[in-house]
């Protein structure tokens, strides 16, 4: 049951402040994760890690839109997304779709050239850190969203949960390759990331079209 009706204004503002801090942590984390993942993904020729890193950069754009929304919610009653948030969603959706095309092209080239990563150890480390971080952020955002009875914040929590699941794809492909050197597993892992990126892009455009930060299916994956 929501606690929103029993909270005073100070309690509500404290929760919105927590939601904003969580959104900023998400943005900063994704920036760092993106730099590390794309850098090592390129140097180690690990397509899955590189795609994971680009996905993290796209999440930064989405995160900026969420942070902007929370600031507006703190100042007045939330009545829907504004033009800034709609633009952020459209940019996010477009970049996600471009990422999908890039990953698919990279996977095809990788398989046809029989290229293999030098190592996927960094992918294992990054994914384990990401799983831990995203789980914490998901739980914290969900708790705030429920207490505020805020569908947009709960939807953002569910998007964070998607990143949590995405990290397991990177972990699985990186771990299998590092331990067993299974051919093409890195390329297959990158295609799994592409599938999630496609779904995230579709959701971004759906939100922009419906002018809401929630999805018709609650952003469930």
Question: For the chain, how many residues are written?
Answer: 221
Whether the model clears a pTM of 0.85, i.e. scores above it, the answer is: yes
How do residues 142-194 score in pLDDT, each as one tens digit?
999 999 998 889 989 999 999 999 999 999 999 999 999 998 999 999 999 99
In the numeric block, the tokens 């900026």 are attached to: 64
Neighbouring CB atoms inside 10 A of 90's CB total 15
* Interval 74-94: pLDDT, tens: 887 766 788 889 999 999 999
Whether residue 114 is contained in a domain is answered as yes
Compute the Cα dihedral for 167, 209, 83, 68 and give only its sign: negative
Q: Is residue 157 part of a domain?
A: yes
> Quick check: is 219 in a domain?
no
Q: Which of 12, 181, 44 is nearest to 52 (CA)?
A: 44
Q: In terms of residue numbers, what domain contains 169?
A: 8-210
Whether 44 is covered by a domain: the verdict is yes
């Amino acid at each position: 049951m929501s606690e929103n009706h029993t909270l005073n204004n100070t309690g509500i503002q404290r929760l919105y402040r927590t939601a904003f801090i969580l959104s900023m942590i998400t943005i900063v984390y994704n920036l760092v994760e993106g730099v590390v993942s794309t850098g090592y993904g390129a140097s180690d020729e690990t397509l899955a890690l590189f795609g994971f890193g680009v996905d993290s950069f796209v999440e930064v754009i989405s995160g900026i839109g969420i942070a902007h929304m929370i600031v507006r919610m703190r100042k007045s009653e939330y009545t829907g997304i504004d033009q800034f948030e709609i633009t952020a969603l459209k940019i996010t959706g477009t970049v996600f779709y471009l990422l999908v095309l890039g990953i698919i092209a990279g996977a095809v080239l990788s398989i046809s050239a029989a290229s293999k990563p030098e190592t996927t150890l960094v992918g294992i480390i990054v994914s384990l850190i990401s799983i831990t971080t995203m789980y914490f952020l998901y739980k914290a955002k969900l708790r705030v969203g429920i207490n505020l009875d805020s569908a947009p914040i709960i939807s953002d929590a569910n998007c964070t949960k998607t990143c949590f699941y995405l990290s397991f794809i990177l972990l699985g492909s990186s771990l299998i390759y590092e331990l067993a050197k299974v051919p093409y597993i890195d390329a297959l892992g990158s295609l799994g990331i592409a599938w999630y990126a496609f779904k995230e892009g579709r959701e971004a455009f759906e939100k922009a079209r419906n002018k809401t930060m929630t999805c018709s299916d609650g952003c469930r994956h």
